[in-house]
Structure 1
Amino acid sequence: MTNPLLEPWTGPFQLPPFPAIRDEDFGPAFEAGLAEARRNIAKIAGSAEAPTFANTIEALELAEEVLDRVSGVFYNLAGADSTPAREALQRELAPKMAAFSSEVTMNADLFARIDTLWQGQDTLTLTDEQRRVLELYRRMFVRAGAALDEAGRKRMAEVKELLAVLSTQFSQNLLADERDWFLPLEKADLEGLPGFVVTAARSAAAERGREGHVLTLSRSLIVPFLQFSSRRDLRETAWRAWVARGANGGETDNRALAAEILKLREERAKLLGYDSFAAYKLETEMAKTPGAVRDLLMRVWEPARAKAEADGAVLTGMMQGDGVNGPLEPWDWRYYSEKRRLAEHDLDEAELKPYFGLDAMIQAAFDTAHRLFGLDFKPLDLTLYHPDARAWEVTRDGRHMAVFIGDYFARGSKRSGAWCSSFRGQRKLGGDRRPVVVNVCNFAKPAAGEPALLSWDDARTLFHEFGHALHAMLSDVTYGFIAGTSVARDFVELPSQLYEHWLEVPQVLDRHARHAATGAPMPADLRDRLIAAATYDQGFATVEYIASALVDLAFHEGAAPADPMAVQAGVLEKIGMPAAIPMRHATPHFAHVFSGDGYSSGYYSYMWSEVMDADAFDAFREAGDAFDPATAKRLEEAILSAGGSREADTLYRAFRGRMPGVEPLLRGRGLVDAG
């Protein structure tokens, strides 16, 4: 039988032939892709010709075509629709792919060619983009260990393989804990829950082949349960299960894995001559140093904690008014905060939710992109990797720009959270290749025949991930190495967080926030109350986030801790963490930090980007129009289409003319007076 992953993809937009792909196709396809890549790398490294940008850098850009194509399919499916076979292959591939990466980046002959180009770049006729790509390739090789001696390169390769194995295991342990836990709910256990939560619990039971209702650890179900359930005992049970993910003992416990990962990261940094992994990781980010990260986080921490403590006192009073004595607990906060929001802002989640239908919010995101950037979205009738996934062709003035895939509902085979990824990235080298971009979310799936309704936070998540998608879809560079979201980690969240602002624009809500049953627009007074409450409970949200970011920094700033949980406890005690607010991500389920190196020593980056996104949206306010064409064009040209073609601060200055201070962020979170 032929392998569909290795055959030419001749279907619409050269998408992967999902219906034809079987799990058993992936292993042979990876072997073929690795073999081809090794042949191509050997040819480049062993060439008798003097190195040129074309025969070295551009050849490297195209050397792993088959491997990239297969990886794009497999890793997207492994995250969004896991199976036992895919999990087993993921474990098998982790050390193999890490070893291959080390083979390439520590190939002495290949590095010598790149270094020769780098040293002689002033004698070459290079475009600005080519200079940038050359700089980044050399930097990648050096930071991977290419300049180490033979013993150092050997140990670095071993460390990377071990890290790949441990990170994969961390992810799979977390998925197993999230997939396996559920709490059956009897009729009496549904007390206080609005209809949309009851419906979601019934759907969760049906997915597990059970009658009645169950509570799962899907964020889109457990958070509203904690908001609305009048059963304090069940809220405690649910909350404890949620925060215990990865720390339940047995085979899926992640605490020892976290310690081993941190130890290996420290060794990796020391091999390269850095004092700590944080120093190594932050060198190429906008922040540059751990000190700069800590300074930003602590400037926001103090007003955030003060706000959270004041809010906690109010919620404690409400709880005591209900006859519940003792301190406010973490499983009480969301419940009483929801009651307070109703009392102070006359906002009821059950009243709001019908105005945020999933399809309506998708159209709101599309319409906003059309008004800002002239993009059009046409539904595609395609069979994708899961029945819940759907696709659109993205065009501008009739020109094909991208294929966008949305996969929005939670399921047991999908890891938690929300993310943006690509099956194929953009580039012009070797022909104009347009991207295939996917947004993956975990919204509660409705019962058959009922509309999918989002919370306000869900709608923000949808806009956030679509901002990432725009960064990928509007990319307009020659080299895939710097395309789309291939930017500094503390810059990559700028487009996504900036896009969230348009959800609060009155014209967007007036046009798209319509009642799922009646089609009536959201009443103006409800819309105004919603916008007025946009900063509600930001003390809680900011405190839970910054605590996680500070713990991440502490893990990587000095010697690797033998007991990460003790470090976590020490950090929380030192900063005076309010007892009723948990970290957003405790160590055993901190996937951002331990399921790969992406956000390790970099969880702060959401806030670093938020400093810019708050200021960036001010540019539209200053223009007097949230859809100002000139400002939108400048945003696209300076940031969204530019990828990593220049340093992040240079890109931002090209858009805004300067770098921002922290004040717009504090105002945006309601932590200082708006005046």
Structure 2
Amino acid sequence: MTNPILADWATPFAIAPFDAISDDDFTSALDQALVAHNAEIDRIAGNPEAPDFANTVEAMEAAGADLDKVLSVFFTVAGADSNPAREALQRDFSPRLAAHFADISGNKPLFQRIAAVWQARDSLDLNDEQQRVLMLTHRGFVRAGAALEGDAEARMKEIKGRLATLGTDFTQNLLADERAWFMDLSEDDLEGLPDFVVEAARSAGVEKEATGPVVTLSRSLIVPFLQFSPRRDLREKAYRAWTARGANGGDTDNRGIAAEILTLREDRARLLGYDSFAAYKLETEMARTPERVRDLLMQVWTPAKAQADADAEKLTAMMQADGVNGPLAAWDWRYYAEKRRKDEHDLDEAELKPYLQLDRMIEAAFTCANRLFGLEFAPLDVPLYHADCRAWEVTRDGAHVAVFIGDYFARGSKRSGAWCSAMRSQAKFPQTQTPVVINVCNFAKGDPALLSYDDARTLFHEFGHALHQMLSDVTYESISGTSVARDFVELPSQLYEHWLEVPEVLEEFATHAETGAPMPRDMLDKVLAAANFDMGFQTVEYVASALVDLAFHEGAAPADPMVRQGEVLAGIGMPAAIGMRHATPHFAHVFAGDGYSSGYYSYMWSEVMDADAFAAFEEAGGAFDPERAHALEAHILSTGGSKEPEELYTAFRGRLPGVEALLKGRGLAA
């Protein structure tokens, strides 16, 4: 019988038939797909005809359809709904896939054909998009080591395989630590916690099969616990467990893995002739060099630290007024910051949260997309990989555009964080295909599910990524949607966050979970006025992580990453009461794969643009100005990686931005 993963999917919009796929299907599907892809590559490399764009580059674009199907299904469930079988499969698949793609990038006859097309590019009458795909293909092979020979070539293949294994191990260790730890709460321990935190703790207790409510290491539960629990001893216990993920000793400790990853990355960069991994990685980004990254981060660090230091003095005074002596600790900051927010802005998260219902915030994100880009969303009843998932058909003017899937709730089988991925990306070659896009979040479950303001911002952020995928309008999948420079990919997502703060959006969609009443105008005003509250803390914890990431990759790999982390933090004067947003042992952005390695700064780089881009709307007809919306889609959301990011942004805005709009937006300008 045909493997259900490889069969033609006779489902609405060819969505993966999750109800027909079992874990037993993945290995055989991967085996068959790898054989098929190898045969396709061999035919391209061995083609007796002279190499040209069609028989070499376009042929590669068309190859690997079966492999794409297997990997899209497998990595969707492996990240969002893992189990022991899937974790074992991932440990097996990762080195196999690394070897497979290393064989392709090391295929000398194939690279010779690509190089020949590249050399003849000026005589091939290629359009702009074809020239871009050719350049990226050639550059990708060179950067992957296609020009290496002998021992260097063998060493590169070995490095790639080992990195794939280590990245998988890092991720699974982190998931294991997050899944294993929880803290039981007695009824007395619930005192002082708002109802929504109590309900989330009870729900987590059911999920963990505990005897009562618990605190887990899910951000959507542990952060509000740290904000509201008056029990300093419990806050300390929870915070220490949260920040110790990946550093608890034993089989799940990630510190040795991080050290080996950094060494292998340095080796990889030096094999290719670069002074450091940062120099190698940043060459193709907007930033280009480590020096430009450091310059941006330090421009933001200095005012952010000054603000955080001033805030720390106020929080320390509040703590001492409560009779707690000694210095402000990291498990104190959120608790006293929440008290301060209530005092200074008369804004109580417990009063705010009932107005931020998950379903209404989803509706808000959809409505903004409709007003800006004419998109409409209709629920789809299709089998998905988990009962918590839901799907919508996306249309415009009656025509199908995409399928959007939302998977919003935290669970033990899901890795932490939030992300957007495409199970299928938009393309017109070798045939037209529309995207299937997934947003995955880790919100606390409830009836109804209520979000913090930060949760709501995360929802808009990930939906901005989804719009980048859904509105893509290019020919080749390799440059579709979010296939752009890492420090440009966060522009659409961070820009979309701004629409959450548009007063008319909150007026319409921030309605009370019990009464249905809209958020009172005075509360709405307080929410917007407090938008930059505690921004010193938020900026410091982020920039510190970005600077540590850069330092790890900028020179020789550190023998002990934890020592190097400590040196970096001491060098910048990291406030004692603020922890890195992602300390090394759980810094999945950097160590679970190469995606954000030496690139965690990219959120800040993109924020320079998103602050400036939203200002373009404000300078025009307002947040829903149709001309600016059209320009945003035409020059950024629809274009994928078809041009250099600088060119795309300049086409939208008329110029490149400076850091001033970012500092102003964060309330850090002098």
How far is 1:191 from its partner?
1.6
Q: In structure 2, what is the Cα distance between the partners aligned to 1:391 and 1:24?
A: 25
Name the structure 2 match of 1:536.
Answer: 533
- Residues 351-500 of structure 1: matches in 2 within 5 Å? 351-446=351-446, 450-500=447-497
Q: Which runs of 5+ in 2 are unaligned?
A: none
One-letter amino acid matched to 1:299: Q
Name the structure 1 match of 2:76.
Answer: 76
Q: Which runs of 5+ in 1 are unaligned?
A: none
Q: In structure 1, what is the Cα distance between the partners aligned to 2:106 and 2:649?
A: 33
Name the structure 1 match of 2:330.
Answer: 330
How far is 1:125 from its partner?
1.3
Give SS of 2:24's match: helix
How far is 1:209 from its partner?
1.7
One-letter amino acid matched to 1:564: P
- Residues 256-271 of structure 1: matches in 2 within 5 Å? 256-271=256-271
Q: In structure 2, what is the Cα distance between the partners aligned to 1:577 and 1:63?
A: 49
Q: In structure 1, what is the Cα distance between the partners aligned to 2:154 and 2:63?
A: 24
One-letter amino acid matched to 1:345: H
Q: Kindly provide the CA deviation profile for residues 351-402 of structure 1, in whole angstroms up to 9, marking residues without a partner as x.
A: 1001100000000000000000000000011120000000000000011000
Q: In structure 2, what is the Cα distance between the partners aligned to 1:17 and 1:420?
A: 20
Q: In structure 1, what is the Cα distance between the partners aligned to 2:45 and 2:669?
A: 57
Give SS of 1:582's match: coil
Q: In structure 2, what is the Cα distance between the partners aligned to 1:504 and 1:633?
A: 21
Q: In structure 2, what is the Cα distance between the partners aligned to 1:187 and 1:306?
A: 40
Q: In structure 1, what is the Cα distance between the partners aligned to 2:323 and 2:210?
A: 36
Could you list the structure 1 runs, at least 4 aligned residues long, displaced by more than 2 angstroms after superposition: none
Q: In structure 1, what is the Cα distance between the partners aligned to 2:648 and 2:147?
A: 30
Q: In structure 2, what is the Cα distance between the partners aligned to 1:514 and 1:150?
A: 65
Q: In structure 2, what is the Cα distance between the partners aligned to 1:210 and 1:545?
A: 34
How far is 1:154 from its partner?
1.2
How far is 1:57 from its partner?
0.8
Name the structure 1 match of 2:613.
Answer: 616
One-letter amino acid matched to 1:572: L
- Residues 510-659 of structure 1: matches in 2 within 5 Å? 510-659=507-656
Q: In structure 2, what is the Cα distance between the partners aligned to 1:43 and 1:605?
A: 39
Q: In structure 2, what is the Cα distance between the partners aligned to 1:208 and 1:237?
A: 19
Q: Kindly provide the CA deviation profile for residues 237-260 of structure 1, in whole angstroms up to 9, marking residues without a partner as x.
A: 000000000000000000000000
Name the structure 2 match of 1:119.
Answer: 119
Name the structure 2 match of 1:509.
Answer: 506
How far is 1:624 from its partner?
3.0
- Asked whether 1:289 is paired with 2:286, we answer no
- Residues 110-259 of structure 1: matches in 2 within 5 Å? 110-259=110-259
Q: In structure 2, what is the Cα distance between the partners aligned to 1:540 and 1:325?
A: 22
Q: In structure 2, what is the Cα distance between the partners aligned to 1:471 and 1:115?
A: 31
Q: In structure 1, what is the Cα distance between the partners aligned to 2:180 and 2:19?
A: 28
Give SS of 2:475's match: coil
Name the structure 2 match of 1:664.
Answer: 661
Q: In structure 1, what is the Cα distance between the partners aligned to 2:116 and 2:41?
A: 17
One-letter amino acid matched to 2:628: T
Q: Kindly provide the CA deviation profile for residues 407-452 of structure 1, in whole angstroms up to 9, marking residues without a partner as x.
A: 0000000000000001111100022100000000000011xxx200
Q: Kindly provide the CA deviation profile for residues 173-227 of structure 1, in whole angstroms up to 9, marking residues without a partner as x.
A: 0000000000010011112100000000000010122231011000000000000
Moved more, 258-267 or 184-193: 184-193
Question: What's the % identity of the aligned pairs?
Answer: 69
Q: RMSD value over aligned CA atoms?
A: 0.6
How far is 1:52 from its partner?
1.3
One-letter amino acid matched to 2:65: E
Q: In structure 2, what is the Cα distance between the partners aligned to 1:371 and 1:148?
A: 51
Name the structure 1 match of 2:36.
Answer: 36
Q: In structure 2, what is the Cα distance between the partners aligned to 1:2 and 1:615?
A: 52
Q: In structure 2, what is the Cα distance between the partners aligned to 1:658 and 1:238?
A: 47
One-letter amino acid matched to 1:542: T
Name the structure 1 match of 2:15.
Answer: 15
Q: In structure 2, what is the Cα distance between the partners aligned to 1:211 and 1:392?
A: 37
Q: In structure 1, what is the Cα distance between the partners aligned to 2:10 and 2:59?
A: 25
Moved more, 132-141 or 426-435: 426-435
- Residues 303-342 of structure 1: matches in 2 within 5 Å? 303-342=303-342
The number of residue pairs the alignment matches comes to: 670
Give SS of 1:421's match: strand
Q: In structure 2, what is the Cα distance between the partners aligned to 1:414 and 1:327?
A: 36
Q: Kindly provide the CA deviation profile for residues 524-566 of structure 1, in whole angstroms up to 9, marking residues without a partner as x.
A: 1110110011000000000000000000000000000110000
Q: In structure 1, what is the Cα distance between the partners aligned to 2:70 and 2:508?
A: 41
One-letter amino acid matched to 2:314: V
How far is 1:265 from its partner?
0.2
Q: In structure 2, what is the Cα distance between the partners aligned to 1:226 and 1:121?
A: 59
Q: In structure 2, what is the Cα distance between the partners aligned to 1:5 and 1:351?
A: 47
Q: In structure 2, what is the Cα distance between the partners aligned to 1:203 and 1:150?
A: 57
One-letter amino acid matched to 1:301: W
Q: Kindly provide the CA deviation profile for residues 319-371 of structure 1, in whole angstroms up to 9, marking residues without a partner as x.
A: 00000000000000000000000000011011100110000000000000000
Q: In structure 1, what is the Cα distance between the partners aligned to 2:431 and 2:565?
A: 50
Give SS of 1:23's match: coil
TM-score using structure 2 length: 1.00
Moved more, 637-646 or 427-436: 427-436
One-letter amino acid matched to 1:499: Y
Give SS of 2:403's match: strand
Give SS of 2:451's match: coil
Q: In structure 2, what is the Cα distance between the partners aligned to 1:655 and 1:461?
A: 25
TM-score using structure 1 length: 0.99
